[in-house]
Structure 1
């Protein structure tokens, strides 16, 4: 490349490993981005969240959660009807919450003096 007049870097001439440190940083950044992309895909499409009745964020976002939860509710009711002795209380509520927040602060309890 030197004979063609192409400058590879502004570091030491004719040394192939002069950018090893910089390249390792880029490799790490790409590795981190790939990991984060995979995590986000898993989190949004596979991980079922208890706060939204065990549906995925994508199911909630795209309006599928209510139908999924209705199927679960009817399944639970049928199971309770068929085997009432297995149930000591009411079935779990499968109604989706109206508002979903991540790590929202809890109400502060007032302390009376």
Structure 2
């Protein structure tokens, strides 16, 4: 909500919102140990089960471990099998639905100058 503010990280803010609105987030934790245990379970779910729209509906673990190509290939096969089994459920255009691509980069404050952006991402 505050563009170009150096002490506001949209990635951590998005994670905080995901934590806060998780269905299992309690109103209160009884102890610090309970909070730590909940956060450990949440982190495992977030990294290995939660499919993130910003990374092509992959899990962070799939991206980190370079499994996205395999997952995308499996998704394409599943879509094609479903299309062949039930063509009436799909639009005439064969490109729909499509498997989402991964972003090529992520920015907090992307430079306005494309040359700066290219130089910064190479560093």
Q: Counterpart of 1:71?
A: 74
- Is 1:91 the counterpart of 2:96? The answer is yes
Between Structure 1 and Structure 2, which shows a larger proportion of helix residues?
2
Native 8 Å contact 2:51 2:57 kept in 1: yes
Higher relative contact order (CA 8 A, sep 6+): 2
Q: Which has the larger radius of gyration?
A: 1
| 2:61 aligns with one of 49, 58, 63 | 58
- In structure 1, the gaps of 5 or more residues are 1-26, 107-113
Q: Distance in 2 between matches of 1:42 and 1:100?
A: 24
If the length of structure 1 is used for normalisation, what is the TM-score?
0.53
Q: 1:100 to 1:58 in 2, by over 3 A?
A: farther
After superposing the two structures, state which structure 1 stretch, 92-101 or 59-68, moved more. Answer: 92-101
Q: Counterpart of 2:31?
A: 28
- In structure 2, the gaps of 5 or more residues are 1-29, 111-123
Aligned length: 81
How far the C-alpha of 1:83 sits from its partner, in A, is 3.4
Q: Deviations over 1:68-106 (max 9, x none)?
A: 11111122123324433321243222243133648x579
* Runs of 4+ more than 4 Å apart: none
Q: Counterpart of 2:52?
A: 49
Q: Could you say what the CA RMSD is over the residues aligned between the two structures, in angstroms?
A: 3.1
If the length of structure 2 is used for normalisation, what is the TM-score?
0.50
